[in-house]
Structure 1
Amino acid sequence: MPIIDVWAQHPTRRFIQHDMFDSLRNWSGTSLPPDQPPLSVTVAAMDAAAVDLALISAWYGPEGALISNDEVAAFVAESGGRLAGVASVDLRKPMAAIRELRRAVTELGFKALRIVPWVWELPPTDRRYYPLYAECVELGIPFCTQAGHTGPLHPSEPGRPIPYLDQVALDFPELTIVAGHIGYPWTTEMIAVATKHPNVYIDTSAHTVRRYPAELVAYLKSHGRGKVLFGTNYPMITPLKALDELDQLGLDEETRAMFLHGNARRVFQTLH
């Protein structure tokens, strides 16, 4: 069965060595490589779990690009069709951010925009996001973001699904929103927002199967089976580790297919 990973990174040295990930390593036991690995390492990790395609994201924060859009484009080009690009932008420069997003989609072929609120300590309702939401609608791409608490030592409040993502979905009903990391510990809020809004989805990145909250599993197996997408947050979690014990969820064949690839192809409509 095909598998698409909707949240991954091929890390640069700047990304790996950033001190914001120190606390994440300490409490999660994550072991990152000491330097930027060759792309073959990422592809091999995908192969080990039979992942066909991974969406890899750029990372921009107040200090600049930890993984630039052009670096992501180079990784995608080198991958032979195994990777697809997700853009990021600098929220501090609104017009430059819009132009960069447009370039990433129309020239580099990227499939979505991702902004991680805790990096900026700005919730998704902040005015700096809103021109980008309008541009995502015009470009026909999803807005991807993180929902839930933070492993790094940054405030978790910007990751609350209610009121922030709920309000964005109300203001931009044409915007497709993919909320990564399940929304824990506000998983019930995240499910409520995804159920309420036709264009809001949840991805399971940053969680292994054994750590899926019971309410998410129940949602996935019932009225939410068209709403949940598989993600890893590689290199923090490898695909093999993320998929371990998937059989124990007891998903029927159709639900399993929707979770592992079908929902991703529908949500990211420009994927081939």
Structure 2
Amino acid sequence: MSAGPMDVDALVAIDVHTHAEVSEKGGASLSAELDAAAGAYFKAEHRHPTLPEIATYYRERQMACVVFTVDAESATGTPPVPNEEIAEAALQHPDVIVPFAGVDPYKGKAAVRQIRRLVDEYGVRGFKFHPNVQAFHPNDRMAYPLYEAIEDAGAIAVFHTGQTGIGAGAPGGGGIRLKYSNPMDVDDVAADFPGMKIVLAHPSFPWQDEALAVATHKPEVYIDLSGWSPKYFPPQLVRYANSLLQDKVLFGSDFPLLAPDRWLADFAELPIKDEVRPKILKENAARLLGLTGN
């Protein structure tokens, strides 16, 4: 059932970091081992909602959400949830879903063609990279043709940064290596693609200061606050969110691994200035995503 257009003014918040974990055909974006480890790490009680269920969940909360999958097929052998499913769900639920996509940097020219097609045919607004799961350094020149396509399209690149719950606790971390997610790798990307908007996803433990430095130094780099309960945010992250980066910090939950209800309840307890709170919850994301003229 189609819904009406997005009414940004009526939204309580915009969650910029939500995952489509399952395909309507039954496939999952992670192997059973990595999926189980992530669920245990986050103590997630409700997982694997379908795209229509995600739309309903956010509509009930008067929120919009950015939805994407991760394409790490070259590194893991597991096909992603098709980007087209997410894009089509956004067309069916434009009041709540903003479509992003996942692209595999190892797929080269095919990934570049996919980026252009998803933007041109579906209006996809951004692309998610998970360097740990995809097993690549963001500043690897292999990925630069993908960034060129994203920059040319006026789209957004999202990079997982810091430790990941994917594989956490599994033997050898499920083979996932943390070295790939240092935000300083993304600093190179921001320098080489100054016209591309970039989001550093998550508090970037153990590289929080590096993430703050990159976002302060590079004008098109933002930080989303997903994947952590706000009560665990490092003090310097809260301080920068309240001051120098108040226009570049974004609400994100990491749903369904972390529920927005819990995130928002804990965020309410942070000493965030009254004038900054609406920026983080909605206004910064609306401007970044082009949902308003502000």
Q: Is the shorter-chain TM-score for this pair beyond 0.5, marking a shared fold?
A: yes
C-alpha contact (below 8 Å) 1:51/1:239 kept by paired residues = no
3-state SS of 1:191 partner? helix
CA distance in 2, matches of 1:208, 1:43: 22
CA distance in 1, matches of 2:122, 2:78: 20
* Structure 2 residue aligned with 1:26: 40
Identity of aligned residues (%): 28
* Structure 2 residue aligned with 1:262: 283
Matched AA of 1:8: T
Q: What displacement does 1:80 show? A: 4.5
Among candidates 65, 80, 88, match of residue 66 of structure 1: 80
Q: CA RMSD in A?
A: 2.0
Q: What displacement does 1:184 show? A: 1.5
CA distance in 1, matches of 2:188, 2:235: 26
* Structure 1 residue aligned with 2:201: 180
Matched AA of 2:99: G
Q: Which structure 2 residues correspond to residues 1-272 of structure 1 after superposition, within 5 A?
A: 2-12=12-22, 13-15=27-29, 18-33=32-47, 36-47=48-59, 50-61=61-72, 62=74, 63-151=77-165, 152=167, 153=173, 154-162=176-184, 164-269=185-290
CA distance in 1, matches of 2:134, 2:59: 34
Give the ranges of 4+ consecutive aligned residues of structure 1 lying more than 4 Å apart after TM superposition. Answer: none
C-alpha contact (below 8 Å) 1:221/1:251 kept by paired residues = yes
Q: How many residues align?
A: 268
C-alpha contact (below 8 Å) 2:30/2:78 kept by paired residues = no
3-state SS of 1:184 partner? coil
Q: Give the stretch that moved more between structures: 180-189 or 24-33.
A: 24-33
Indicate how the Cα distance of structure 1 residues 177 and 80 shifts in structure 2: closer, same or farther if over 3 A, else same: closer
Q: Deviations over 1:134-178 (max 9, x none)?
A: 11111111111101012222111110012x011111212222110
CA distance in 1, matches of 2:284, 2:58: 19
Q: Deviations over 1:174-222 (max 9, x none)?
A: 2211010121121111001111111111001111121221111111111
Q: What displacement does 1:96 show? A: 0.9
Segments of structure 2 that go 5 or more residues without pairing to the other structure are 1-10, 168-172
**TM-score w.r.t. structure 1 length?**
0.91
Matched AA of 1:107: E
Matched AA of 2:241: L
C-alpha contact (below 8 Å) 2:14/2:282 kept by paired residues = yes
C-alpha contact (below 8 Å) 2:31/2:78 kept by paired residues = no
C-alpha contact (below 8 Å) 2:29/2:69 kept by paired residues = no
Matched AA of 1:45: Y
Matched AA of 1:43: A
Q: Give the stretch that moved more between structures: 216-225 or 250-259.
A: 250-259
CA distance in 2, matches of 1:81, 1:232: 19
Matched AA of 2:37: S
3-state SS of 1:67 partner? coil
**TM-score w.r.t. structure 2 length?**
0.84
